[in-house]
């Protein structure tokens, strides 16, 4: 199928994109990578009268590190950039590693971090990664620029904190502390499919091996990614061992009321939460690999 007729407008600046949104209102949709929107239009699940293309807004692409050591990411930065970037791999290794699980290379070449976050598919990796890293979204409107924490940005199925006339401008990832470990695990029916269930975690370990902070996030099991605070408490203040890892995994399973759909039952997803949490934590606690010679 092909989409119904629409008007195509390419914005040159963020202000121009916001002007076009204001002019066309509910008839307009922003086009980022188009890897979700265009198929929806082809199947007539979405029928915007106007597409405002952000690919021509140069200021929305690229990354930098600010004076606080934070990674500042333009919303139009593509998945493949994170996958191929050695500085990202050194400074924020979880982000680089997880990109191999995002669809296929062709889609990673076009898809963007901002497009994924604003689409808010609960099985997508970026909303979970941002939540695990405690990222902040910079949102622009005509009257103001505001910051929204990842915990508040994804609100429900395909729903975000964006208000009418706003767009996502940047994503800011806090500096990666020394001693931080990470884990990322997901299960999909086929390589490149959306996750049936997934877990991303970060653990901050001190010189004594004790965990000063932990964030465990599950995705693909509910209407949005979920930060499992109680499960993380099983690791806080201790040098995580087998018992602590098992306790965290059991708590993770008990904390989530999973959804059921044609891909997997709620019971299966619940089992996956426990198994993937344990795997992700073991991955995070494994001895670092020696550098390649």
Residue 53's DSSP bridge partners are: 10, 31
Taking the CA atoms of 12, 16, 17 and 23 in sequence, report the sign of the dihedral they define.
Answer: negative
pLDDT digits (tens, 9 = 90+) for 156-180: 999 999 999 999 999 999 999 999 9
| Residue bearing tokens 């290379």 | 105
Please give the pLDDT value at position 287. 86
DSSP the chain: --PPP-EEEE-SSHHHHHHHHHHHGGGEEEESS-TTHHHHHHTTS---SEEEE-TT-GGGS-EEE-TTS-EEEETT-BHHHHHH-HHHHHHSHHHHHHGGGSS-HHHHHH-BHHHHHHHT-TT-HHHHHHHHTT-EEEEE-SS-EEEEEHHHHEEETTEESPPTT-EEEEEEEPP--TTEEEEEEEE-SSTTSPPSEEEEEEEEE-TTS-EEEEEEEEESSSSS-EE-HHHHHTTTTS---HHHHHHHHHHHHHH------SS--HHHHHHHHHHHHHHHHHHHHSPPPPPP-
Among residues of the chain, what percentage have pLDDT more than 70?
98
Domain annotation for the chain: domains and CATH numbers:
7-53 (3.30.43.10), 58-173 (3.30.465.10), 181-285 (3.30.390.50)
- CA distances (Å), 110 to each of 27, 33, 186, 196, 230, in order? 24, 5, 22, 23, 37
Question: Mean of the pLDDT values across residues 231-260?
Answer: 97
Q: How confident is the model at residue 124 (pLDDT cuts 50, 70, 90)?
A: very high
pTM over 0.85: yes
With a cut of 60, say whether residue 292 has pLDDT above it: no
With a cut of 50, say whether residue 128 has pLDDT above it: yes
With a cut of 70, say whether residue 293 has pLDDT above it: no
Both tokens assigned to 3: 């989409």
Question: Mean of the pLDDT values across residues 271-275?
Answer: 98
pLDDT digits (tens, 9 = 90+) for 183-197: 999 999 999 999 999
Please give the pLDDT value at position 130. 98
| Cα–Cα distance for residue pair 288/262, rounded to 1 Å | 38
CB 166 within 8 A of CB 139: yes
Cβ neighbours of residue 192 closer than 8 Å, sequence gap 6 or more: 103, 104, 107
Cβ neighbours of residue 58 closer than 8 Å, sequence gap 6 or more: none
CB 57 within 8 A of CB 12: yes
């Amino acid at each position: 199928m092909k989409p119904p007729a629409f008007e195509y407008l390419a914005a040159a600046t963020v202000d121009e994109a916001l002007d076009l949104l204001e002019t066309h209102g509910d008839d307009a949709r922003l086009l980022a990578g188009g890897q979700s929107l265009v198929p929806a239009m082809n199947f007539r699940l979405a029928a915007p009268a106007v597409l405002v293309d952000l690919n021509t807004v140069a200021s929305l692409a690229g990354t930098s590190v600010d004076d606080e050591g934070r990674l500042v990411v333009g919303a139009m930065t593509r998945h493949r950039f994170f996958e191929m970037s050695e500085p990202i791999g050194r400074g924020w290794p979880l982000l680089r590693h997880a990109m191999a699980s995002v669809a296929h290379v062709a889609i990673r070449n076009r898809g963007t971090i901002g497009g994924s976050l604003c689409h808010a598919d609960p099985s997508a990796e970026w909303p979970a990664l941002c939540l695990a890293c405690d990222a902040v979204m910079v949102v622009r409107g005509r009257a103001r620029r505001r910051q929204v924490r990842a915990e508040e940005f994804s609100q429900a199925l395909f729903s975000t904190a964006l208000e009418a006339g706003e767009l996502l401008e940047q994503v800011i990832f806090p500096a990666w502390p020394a001693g931080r470990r990470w884990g990322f695990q997901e299960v999909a029916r086929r390589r490149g499919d959306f996750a049936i269930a997934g877990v991303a975690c970060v653990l901050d370990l001190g010189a004594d091996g004790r965990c000063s902070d932990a964030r465990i996030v599950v995705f693909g099991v509910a209407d949005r990614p979920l930060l499992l605070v109680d499960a993380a408490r099983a690791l806080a203040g201790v040098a995580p061992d087998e018992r602590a890892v098992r306790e965290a995994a059991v708590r993770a399973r008990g904390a989530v009321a999973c959804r059921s759909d044609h891909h997997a039952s709620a019971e299966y997803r619940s089992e996956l939460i426990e198994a993937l949490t344990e795997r992700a934590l073991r991955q995070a606690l494994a001895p670092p690999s020696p550098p390649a010679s």
